[in-house]
Amino acid sequence: MKRLFLAAAILSLGAAPALAGDPAAGEAAFNQCQTCHVVANEEGEVLAGRAGRQGPNLYGIIGRTAGTVEGFRYQASLVQAGEEGLVWDEENLVPYLLNPQDFLRETLDDRRARSGMTHRVRNEDMARDLVAFLAQFGEAPAAEDGGDDEEAAAD
Ligand code: HEC
């Protein structure tokens, strides 16, 4: 009972800093992504990774609608998720990175949904570190406004 209460207390903290990842650790962990992904800005300047093109550019991933990098050939499920309103944020990227296929199946409520990304991050801490690292690259870094955005947890 006590443990349950503690879990609820932790959950209610939401996106509190205690749960935020470490961008430096994320940079090291990005090694496993760069065979397939780069982070390159609008000018084409490569900010992370090298020449990975099997996956979409991850520049500005936080706040971006899923499956919308122009010219990239996504699988249908990810495009559909974006069309249904999936916008990447610090929270939903974590389960996606842990298991893209399960994430899409749950998000779309479709057991046959498929992910074009088969890679899975080993554990949640590493996923959070990666998200913290990727959050550094983009137009408008997400503003910290006290974190009372309840709707992000829906579904
Ligand atoms: C073997 C290649 C490969 C590796 C390794 C890989 N990815 Fe991917 N990733 C892809 C592909 C392909 C897609 C497009 C998925 C689809 O179409 O369903 C993708 C999609 C994504 C998306 C969604 C992008 C969007 O535009 O909606 C994110 C975020 C992402 N990857 C992050 C990562 C991170 C972080 C890592 C390292 C932990 C990683 N990926 C490792 C191939 C890879």
Please state, in angstroms and rounded to a whole number, the distance separating the CA atoms of residues 81 and 113. 10
Which among 47, 91, 92, 119 is the best mutation to test ligand 1's pocket, defined by most ligand atoms within 8 Å of the CB?
119
56 within some domain: yes
Residues 74-100 have a mean pLDDT of: 98
Q: Measured between alpha carbons, how far is residue 128 from residues 23, 26, 90, 100, 101 in Å?
A: 9, 8, 8, 15, 18
| The model's pTM | 0.83
Angle of helix 100-108 versus helix 76-83 axis, rounded to 10: 50
127 within some domain: yes
Q: Is 99 in the pocket of ligand 1 (CB under 6 A)?
A: no
Q: Residue 44 maps to which CATH number? A: 1.10.760.10
pLDDT tens figures, 5-35:
555 555 555 544 447 899 999 999 999 999 9
13 within some domain: no
Structural domain count of the chain: 1
pLDDT tens figures, 46-80:
999 998 999 999 999 999 999 999 999 999 999 99
From atom 36 of ligand 1, which residue's Cα is the shortest distance away?
33
63 within some domain: yes
Question: What integer pLDDT is reported at residue 140 of this predicted model?
Answer: 59
From atom 17 of ligand 1, which residue's Cα is the shortest distance away?
74
Q: Is the pLDDT of residue 155 over 70?
A: no
From atom 28 of ligand 1, which residue's Cα is the shortest distance away?
58
Instruction: Point out the least confidently predicted range of 9-18, 30-39, 111-120, 138-147.
Output: 9-18
Question: What integer pLDDT is reported at residue 7 of this predicted model?
Answer: 56
125 within some domain: yes
Residue range of the domain that includes 104: 20-138
149 within some domain: no
